[in-house]
Amino acid sequence: MKFICVILLILTGVTQSDEYEVIGPSAPVMTVSGEDVILPCSIKPNISAVNMRVEWIRLDLKGSIVHRYEDHKDINTDQLQSYRGRTQVFKEELEKGNTSLKLSRVQISDEGLYKCFIQSQSWSDDITVDLRVEAVGRPLVITVDGFDGSGGLRLQCESKGWNPEPDLVWLNSEGVTLTSESPDTHRDDTDGFSVKHKITVYNTDTKYHCRVRMNHHMMETEIITSSKMFHSWRSSVILISVAVVLSVIAGILITRFVRKQRDLQREEQRIQNEREPLLMTVKNVTSLLRKHAVNVTLDADSAHPRLIVSHDGKQVRCENKQLERVKNEDTGQNYTFDSRFCVAGNEGFSSGCFYYEVQVKGVDCWRVGVTRESAQRKGLFSMEHQDGYWTVCLSGHRYYAGEKHVVLSLSVNPERIGVFVDYEKGRVSFYDVESMYHIHSFTAQSFTKKLYPLLFLESSVPLIICRDLS
């Protein structure tokens, strides 16, 4: 009897220690394309999974293997090709019953249902993890799609690479939504959603906006149609000038002028061939902006004591040692920055448009923009637009507009930043000069005082005001 009891105890002991529950997140796991993500999965109670089989499987892809751990090692011979080299279980965590999967460099095609299946000698259980991948699409491309029979101009707006599906709308200059003629949405497993809408417009000298929204991301670009008479004895010329663009809300914005321009040029060629008397010109954004270039020099007296301005006022770098600039502080000059590492330009502007470029190459902490005359310069002030600072910055490998509330997502690191101000329109725009990506704009500001160029840096590599803008 005693013997049987002992056997029973052992048996119950064994079964009990071997029964477990697999647990995971109740809500979908959200991530962003390009990032790494951990799909949580663990055993409760937290017994070791080192001797168990752990399988991560794509339920929505006929149970294909994403990752397998068995006999104390990863066995990925029959793993789905697209997951090669991107999956990992945490060996040291397995002991604690943590069988989470790390998936690196997430792609849109990774979105789906993942089963975490755990098997021991005598027991098995699983849970399903729902992975959602968000991807912000590529810049909008507006194409002029020819003329219709009644003299209307057909415009097409397209953007690719979104997930989930975004909303695309055309708006007129008053912000009224226009009805698209042939909305076209297309999904590709690897590239996500691409959207394309066409409209026909009859008005010249007006702006049309194309806007794409997905969750809290928005991209916008605009086209200006204008008609002018050239060679009046012969032809009427339609001038499409693709002007300043794009605005970012809560994040992300870039546009690819180069591509748009190429499309427009191709179109120009086609239309020219089709209709002899019509000719189309595309104005180059760079030359539009540089038309307003001004000769910026830095005001050494305004500079923080750790900033060293070159004799010609075209460069500034940051030194560890404080300069002897007691003189300024003693006379209490209000315009010297004493706390934030800033320097302002010598000359301020209070009308029209102005533009300057700064080389930021190799500088890992910088801020570029404009400041209002009499904005606070002493102490640790804020550099938001409501405080009289309109800037973009690089800090900790991330780009921001203003202080760090608006994160900008750039696909390349700009080497040169273009700053454009339209005083009357209340606009400050920033461009990556090389690609003419529009980085960010502050719009609908109201300027009442002079605006001065402003630089900030924490680096011994200098920021350089560019001279070659003609």
* Ramachandran assignment for 91, one of left (phi > 0), alpha (psi -120 to 50 degrees), beta (any other): alpha
Which three-class secondary structure string do you get for 145-175? EEECCCCCEEEEEEEEEEECCCEEEEECCCC
Is residue 295 a contact residue for ligand NAG (CB under 6 A)?
A: yes
Is residue 143 a contact residue for ligand NAG (CB under 6 A)?
A: no
Contact present, 395 and 414 (Cβ < 8 Å)? no
Q: Give the residue with the Cβ less far from ligand NAG, 89 or 370.
A: 89
Which three-class secondary structure string do you get for 434-455? CCCEEEEEECCCCCCCCEEEEE
Q: What residues does 167 pair with on adjacent strands?
A: 213
In the set 31, 33, 42, 221, which binds ligand NAG (CB under 6 A)? Answer: 42
Residue 467 Cβ vs ligand NAG, minimum distance, rounded to whole Å: 6
Residue from 137, 144, 128 nearest 165 by CA: 137
In the set 31, 79, 87, 98, which binds ligand NAG (CB under 6 A)? Answer: 98
Q: Give the residue with the Cβ less far from ligand NAG, 46 or 265.
A: 46
Contact present, 194 and 159 (Cβ < 8 Å)? yes
In the set 18, 35, 93, 274, which binds ligand NAG (CB under 6 A)? Answer: 93
Binding mask 253-292 for ligand NAG (x = CB under 6 A): ----------------------------------------
Region of 13-21, 36-44, 76-84, 284-292 interacting with ligand NAG (CB under 6 A): 36-44
The DSSP call for residue 120 is -
Q: How far apart are CA 271 and CA 139, in angstroms?
A: 25
Is residue 100 a contact residue for ligand NAG (CB under 6 A)?
A: yes
Is residue 96 a contact residue for ligand NAG (CB under 6 A)?
A: yes
Q: How far apart are CA 149 and CA 147, in angstroms?
A: 7
Is residue 297 a contact residue for ligand NAG (CB under 6 A)?
A: yes
The CB density around residue 59, as the number of other CB atoms within 10 Å, is: 15
Region of 75-83, 90-98, 243-251, 355-363 interacting with ligand NAG (CB under 6 A): 90-98
| Size of the residue set binding ligand NAG (CB under 6 A) | 11
Q: Which two tokens stand for residue 193?
A: 């959603």
The residue type at 4: I
Region of 94-102, 111-119, 213-221, 360-368 interacting with ligand NAG (CB under 6 A): 94-102
Contact present, 136 and 248 (Cβ < 8 Å)? no
Please report where in the chains the tokens 């000719």 appear, as a residue: 279
Residue from 79, 71, 124, 77 nearest 101 by CA: 79
Residue 313 Cβ vs ligand NAG, minimum distance, rounded to whole Å: 7
Is residue 31 a contact residue for ligand NAG (CB under 6 A)?
A: no
In the set 53, 61, 90, 378, which binds ligand NAG (CB under 6 A)? Answer: 90
Is residue 36 a contact residue for ligand NAG (CB under 6 A)?
A: no
Positions that interact with ligand NAG (CB under 6 A): 38, 40, 42, 46, 90, 93, 96, 98, 100, 295, 297
